[in-house]
A = this chain, B = another copy of it.
Amino acid sequence: MTTRRGDLFDPACPTRRLLDRIGTKWVSMVVKLLAEADPEEIRFAELQRRMPGVSQKMLSTTLRQLTRDGLVGRRVEPTVPPKVYYSLTDLGLSLEVPLSALRAWAEEHMALIGESATSP
């Protein structure tokens, strides 16, 4: 970025930063899966299996970022084939609330908007 981080609207606009995170391709999906599965916890491969099309790299990156942000909890079982369980933290769960509201809006209204503008 040409500008230093956090100069323009950062102090006044944490929303921008939040959207930068949850707007990335896989975050909302991970959060939803974890929200549904919590507190059973899910392992990496299971998560990947439930997310058709995600690469290990992006899933790993996404999870690392969410973990770093304190939204996702990570528990490692040091067995010989290591097992890593992921779950939502309380913070992550609290984010799920407004996020699911957004999801509801999307499912309600996006159908209309549908194909007029975007071309994925």
Contacts and interface: CB of A to CB of B under 8 A. Distances in A.
A103 interface: yes
Contact count band on A: 35 or more
Nearest to A67: B117
Given A14-B111, A24-B120, A116-B70, A95 B91 contact: no
A102 B98 contact: yes
Nearest to A112: B70
B19 A68 contact: no
Given A70-B113, A116-B68, A53 B17 contact: no
Interface in A8-23: 8-9, 13-23
Interface in A67-104: 68-71, 91, 94-95, 97-99, 101-104
B18 A106 contact: yes
B109 A105 contact: no
Contacts of A107: 2, 7, 14-15
